[in-house]
């Protein structure tokens, strides 16, 4: 079906369903694609697309950023990071500010670029900021394994990778949650396979579609969710079969298992989510900068009045959050809904309910 056909079908289904349908997409790249294609403007009024906690950068909390900045400010370190991290706020500063003040912070495209940095600067500690979901974790694991196998002693990781299924469970556990379906992150599923997401339908009776990022693929995902809602035939469908399989990439999964332990993790604005994070295991402990070089940052996440979880669940709108536009804004964001350039709160802040009318 082409785009226009899908849009027509979406319209027809929405009319037939005749009640609000809230679809969550759980991936920063989906958020950006949906914005860039202008999909929201074309959907019927009762179908709402919501950005979930799907940007691993945006859910990275203050504590991690403060640690990264503290390591960056040392004279004996070089930080290697993905570009996305530069602007994420810590409690007082950001990596881009630290860079402006002279910290040696380098943007890399691949984690493996850190190896060259370590080799060229033997008297410094090259620290890779390992952020990402299941898509990116294997690439950092590959870095750790390479460094260890090649005996590179001055390469370290500061890990904060996160896992998607646990946070979806957290959202779905709340009976009051108003999410009617999910566009699942296509590239996370390339690695994990579809299996770890089947629980969305099996345990919580919500339809979900593993979706790619082109216009046709996203519209297809929305169409299929509406069709499942209409018929009551609730499942997790793989609509990205040219790269996603049932079981995913075994090599990548095994590598992650070889290098990491699964641990509890702190998600910005959401607190601790059980077994949702990765940490270098005993065999790779010597690459963990936190174990190699202790720094003085308070580990406990602060209690916050941030209501991102409720915004994400659809229980309240951004306006209802006590911090919105008073304490929390795109320049000084509290939770991921505001950190992400197209997060629910950031979008609301920038565009209002009905953005612009050309």
Site for other proteins in 287-326 (CB under 8 A): none
Kindly tell me which of 77 and 211 has the beta carbon lying closer to other proteins: 211
- Interface residue with other proteins, options 51, 159, 249, 276 (CB under 8 A): 249
- Interface residue with other proteins, options 52, 53, 132, 277 (CB under 8 A): 132
- The interface with other proteins within residues 103-122 (CB under 8 A) comprises 107, 109-113
* Element at 69 (helix H, strand E): helix 62-72
Helices (H) and strands (E) in the chain, counts: 16, 11
- Interface residue with other proteins, options 15, 42, 119, 286 (CB under 8 A): 42
Q: Does 148 bind other proteins (CB under 8 A)?
A: no
Phi/psi-derived region of residue 352, left when phi > 0, alpha when psi is between -120 and 50, beta in every other case: left
Kindly tell me which of 177 and 248 has the beta carbon lying closer to other proteins: 248
- Interface residue with other proteins, options 14, 147, 188, 323 (CB under 8 A): 188
- The interface with other proteins within residues 55-84 (CB under 8 A) comprises 55-57, 82-84
151 alpha-carbon distance from chain centroid:
32
Region of 211-219, 264-272, 290-298, 300-308 interacting with other proteins (CB under 8 A): 211-219
Taking a C-beta distance cutoff of 8 angstroms, is the pair 44, 219 a contact? no
Q: Does 163 bind other proteins (CB under 8 A)?
A: no
What's the token pair of residue 96? 């881009």
- Interface residue with other proteins, options 11, 17, 22, 37 (CB under 8 A): 37
C-beta pairs of 171-178 under 8 Å, 24+ apart in sequence? 171/24, 171/52, 171/53, 171/309, 171/312, 171/313, 172/200, 172/203, 172/204, 172/206, 174/313, 174/315, 176/313, 176/315, 177/313, 177/314, 177/315, 178/20, 178/22, 178/313, 178/314, 178/315
Q: How far is CA 256 from CA 138, 140, 335, in A?
A: 5, 9, 28
Q: Does 351 bind other proteins (CB under 8 A)?
A: yes
Region of 33-41, 66-74, 267-275, 295-303 interacting with other proteins (CB under 8 A): 33-41
> How many residues sit close enough to other proteins to count as binding (CB under 8 A)?
80
Phi/psi-derived region of residue 208, left when phi > 0, alpha when psi is between -120 and 50, beta in every other case: beta
Q: Does 232 bind other proteins (CB under 8 A)?
A: yes
- Interface residue with other proteins, options 101, 243, 263, 272 (CB under 8 A): 243
């Amino acid at each position: 079906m082409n785009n226009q056909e899908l849009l027509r079908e979406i319209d027809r289904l929405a009319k037939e369903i005749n009640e609000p349908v809230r679809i969550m997409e759980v991936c920063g790249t989906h958020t950006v694609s949906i914005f860039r294609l202008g999909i929201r403007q074309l959907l019927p009024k009762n179908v709402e697309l919501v950005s979930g906690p799907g940007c691993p950068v945006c859910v990275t909390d203050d504590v991690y950023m403060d640690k990264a900045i503290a390591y960056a400010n040392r004279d004996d370190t070089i930080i290697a990071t993905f570009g996305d991290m530069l602007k994420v706020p810590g409690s007082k500063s950001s990596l881009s500010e630290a860079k402006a003040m002279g910290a040696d912070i380098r943007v890399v495209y691949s984690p493996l670029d850190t190896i060259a940095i370590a080799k060229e600067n033997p008297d410094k500690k090259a620290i890779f900021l390992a952020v990402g979901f299941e898509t990116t974790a294997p690439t950092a694991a590959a870095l750790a394994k390479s460094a260890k196998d090649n005996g590179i002693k001055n390469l370290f990781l500061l890990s904060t990778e996160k896992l998607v299924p646990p946070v979806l469970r957290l959202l779905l556990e709340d009976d009051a949650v108003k999410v009617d379906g999910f566009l699942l992150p296509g590239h996370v599923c390339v690695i994990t396979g579809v299996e770890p997401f089947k629980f969305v339908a099996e345990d919580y009776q919500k339809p979900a579609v593993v979706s790619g990022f082109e216009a046709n693929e996203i519209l297809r995902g929305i169409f299929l969710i509406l069709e499942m809602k209409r018929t009551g035939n609730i499942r997790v469908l793989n609509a990205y079969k040219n790269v996603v399989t049932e079981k995913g990439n075994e090599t990548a999964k095994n590598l992650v298992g070889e290098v990491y332990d699964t641990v509890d993790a702190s998600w910005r604005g959401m607190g601790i989510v059980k077994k949702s994070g990765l940490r270098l295991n005993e065999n790779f402990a010597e690459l963990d900068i936190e174990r190699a070089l202790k720094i003085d940052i308070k580990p406990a996440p602060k209690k916050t009045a941030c209501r991102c979880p409720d915004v994400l669940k659809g229980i309240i709108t951004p306006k209802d959050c006590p911090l919105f536009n008073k304490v929390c804004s795109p320049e000084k964001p509290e939770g991921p809904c505001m950190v992400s350039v197209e997060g629910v709160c950031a979008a609301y802040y920038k565009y209002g309910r009905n953005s612009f009318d050309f």
